[in-house]
Structure 1
Amino acid sequence: MQRNECNSGHLIILHKASFPGNLHLVLVLRPTSFFHRTVTDIGFRFSQEDFMLKMPVVMLSSVTDLLRYISENQLTSEFGGTLDYCHSDWIVLRTAIESFAVTVKDIAQMLQGFGTELAETELPDKGKAIEFLLECQTDKYRKLKDAIRSVSKEGRHLLSSLETSGKVDDSQWDVKLDWETVQRLLAQLRDMESAFDGFFEKHHLKLHQYMQLLRFEQSFHELCLEHLMSQEKQLSISVDTLTQTEQALKKLDSLESNAQEVVARAQIIILHGHQLSASHHYAIALIMQRCNELRHYCDTLNAALKTKHTHLFTVKHVIYLQAQTWCDDAAYLLANQLVEKSQSKEGAQLALRDIERFLERVPAILSSGPDILAIEYEAIMTPHLQVTLQGMIQKRQVCLRKLADKHVRPIQLVAPRAENPPRSKSPLFSPKHGAVHTRTHTHTHTSNLRSKQSLVRPDRTSTGVSLIIRVHVMRELIETERIYVEELLSVLLGYRAEMDNPALSGLLPPSLHSKKDILFGNLPEIYNFHSRVFLQDLEGCLDAPESVGACFLERKESLQMYECYCQNKPRSDLLWRQFSDCAFFLECQKKLEHKLALDSYLLKPIQRLTKYQLLLKELLKYNTDCEGSSELQGALTAMLDLLKSVNDSMHQIGITGYEGDICELGRVLMQGSFSVWISHKRGPTRMKELARFKPMQRHLFLYEKALLFCKRREEHVDGCDKTPSYSFKHCLKMIAVGITENVKGDVKKFEIWYSGREEVYVVQAPTVEVKMAWLNELRRILTNQQKLLRGLWKFTVF
């Protein structure tokens, strides 16, 4: 009220209610001019009723009197004080602060309203609707974020204006209080923004996972597994004839073709479910339940189809065998009927009855016409063989009927001579001649028939049986491959991925966090190769088992990744022995419902390599001299070489004391233990390092570029089996190595000499076969080196 006239003293009463505290004293400064002073005194007297206040009112005659009541640093310059104060600036500042506070409050209400909207919004049950809802909510979130950033920018600008005034630290000025107010409002805004971001992030993740779950459920319900299982149950395998068997097999093949497509889609859905589970989806229990249901459906369907397929093939094979047995019996019947017994009516009738009784037992598959037989049973009964058998039977029947219907002619009796015994007129019916002729004819006929059967029927039958066995082996290979891929996936998801799960971090020892690659090696690489490449290759060979050899040869280089896995296996085993009782592994095993611990599953890749070569041997056994047999033999050789290479490389890990990078020596080609005598040429004489007849036991490693001599040592690790290690002794560069293949006195010895026989190593192999294998490999390396040097020499000359 500093410029109000004193005759408006009633304003004091009005402003009293606006003060935040109680008024204790009223100071009135009298004007300096005579006229205004007189008017003020008169007005003050006539207005004393207005000043009937519960506080004293002091009339001051000058500004100097004001300093007795108020300090000069609390007064502005116009009242003789030193306070730097601009009322208009203060009003602008207070207006800005109050406006900022209102804006922050509005933002808080907007965030609260948006949070309530998110919480109360009913989620749709269609994917597109969820996507639209997610887009709308994200758009609102971004707009609110922009509003928060704008308000924050305004608050920082206001705070900067207060700080540039330089009066924040002045205790006599209320700018510091304003600065603290703005700071508090900004802190509240930051807290609201942080809470809002966290809430929306969780909501967005849940909505996104809900959409993933909806799509997963939709894919699950779109599968036709239950329909396929219903078709499988309706497919009858109660067949009696070959025609019924073939029709059932066609229906089964069609059903299997559809089932393969559906099962492949189911495997993709299962893999998707495992990926959702690994990402810690909120509905992990439901997802794993669906995956288990799909796996159960697939396993049940595959097992049922496989059982029916095996049954129908068995029935078909039995029908073939019945036909073959009947044909064999027919041939034996015809061959064993003696012609001389059919010369009489009784004998011919007896033989005819035997044939008729035999024809009554003809199998159903041979009772059809020639055209049907030629179409349906060509695999076991060729038209030529059928016509031959039918012709033989018909001729024999005609002959026997003629003999049976022929009347017995009267025989003229002739008086015998005493010196000569009775003799038949025709030498054909001489008992001796007739018996010999009959045996010869029977033997010749039987031999011809046997040769025809051996040329036609047994080969075809054995070929059919071999094909069935090859298909069964191929099915086993594919089925075990699928199981192998599933087991690898369970290990990667159930153990390796769980090592990054925050929920299980308390169960995992800290020292294991950074050793995941040591424990599992390159198992992810092996799983990717088998699940994405090799399994599909093998499934493509189901209808053509002979092509699996080419498949193995094509992926020969990719299978070399097992060598890396096996080289890491000792380190993995050592790490497992240290932490096998860890609560983390026990919890993971419990979740996976595995009966065996992790180390048993880490051994699966090595066991799988051995399984490959066994199955290839079985396929090659029933595919000799057929299409694809050379590729099968090549694949078997490649797998055996891989196993040998893996074994050699695992031994290489135990080498200690070698200075330098052992990888520069190339691949390990061979390794083994030998007895070795070493001699050095010093001056004109040769000296033995050891006793003359006492050899050293050395383990040799043959590389592409060097030959290492090591000493084998056995080490015990925590009560486990002995672990071999090899102390490095000598290294011979292959560029300076020569060999002498034979040493007098022992066929198992050979010489390896170095640097022009400066050093000679007499090596004794355990067997002659081992010696020849090493000599062949050494000759190959030395020959390749000579070719390489010859090529370099020609290049240098030209």
Structure 2
Amino acid sequence: MESLFGSLPEMLDFQRVFLQTLEQRTTSSPDYHALETPEKLKKLLFSLGGSFLYYADHFKLYSGFCANHIKVQKVLKRAKTDWAFKEFLEARNPTKQHSSTLESYLIKPVQRVLKYPLLLRELVSLTDPESDEHSHLTEALKAMEKVASHINEMQKIYEDYGTVFDQLVAEQSGPEKEVTEISMGEFIIHSSALWQNPLPSLGRMRKDPELTLFVFKSALILVYRESKLKKRMTSSRPGDLDPFKFRWLIPVSSLQVRPGNSAGVCNVIFLSLFLSESRSKTDMVFKYHLNTSHQKQIKCNDINKNSILPPNNVVPQKQLSKQRCMFVV
């Protein structure tokens, strides 16, 4: 159920609040349904722009749901092989109307949130460029376009890396998985990093490889993806066609974050892990720079700094040096 609906309950709660705000704006205008001229609509349009402007960031709740929609389609396809589930869906759509299918309902939030910029753009085009309501609606449009851009970015990340995320979760060892699912609804931030001392298994390189770091509420994921051009030039075996040469999932329970103090370097954060295989408390340190905006987005509350447990899904310790350093580009 979590795979299908994700953050839908939170989205529904927000939509109720947003709808109530819009209704309050309209009812505050006397004879709302009788308004016919732009002059009489000015106050209402100004209020409408203010509502979207105020709640713009809340619409980012949709990003995880929209990004996971690709996964939802796969989950539904698998679920329909279950006779009981298929019968359950058919009982709720006896006339077999496409508009009443579960797939149709689940696509509605994706379609709706991306239509808001279109609505605002139309309203902007119909208002006087010199008016206050035009300016207010324009700012609201910019804010909602940023939301749409953010949603598209989340969808692109899942399209490119979603399979890797799912594989890393499945590959965790042990009777119980520390991370049961990687959801884009729990995505916090991503960045690039230069790996200064990569694993020997990656081969000789002219320059430090660039990793991509994905921070989720439940885990940190590191991925090295080889360039497409290099793959076309060097691949000779079927196994070489996999562009992801390094992938690693670190549960937040296995992660400690502490401020860096490198001389002459500002905004450094050290991520320290303790690997229990040797019981020698060997640190694996990932060191990278974060700019100010990134620091604001990473909350120490999201990291369990008191519980340092061994990560299940790791590269064998014999392949690791005592310290591995990365610098964010």
More strand by percentage? 2
Aligning the two structures, in what range does the TM-score lie when normalised by the shorter sequence? 0.3 to 0.5
TM-score by length of 1: 0.22
With a CA cutoff of 8 Å and minimum separation of 6, indicate the structure with the bigger relative contact order.
2
Computing the radius of gyration over CA atoms, which structure comes out larger, 1 or 2?
1
TM-score by length of 2: 0.46
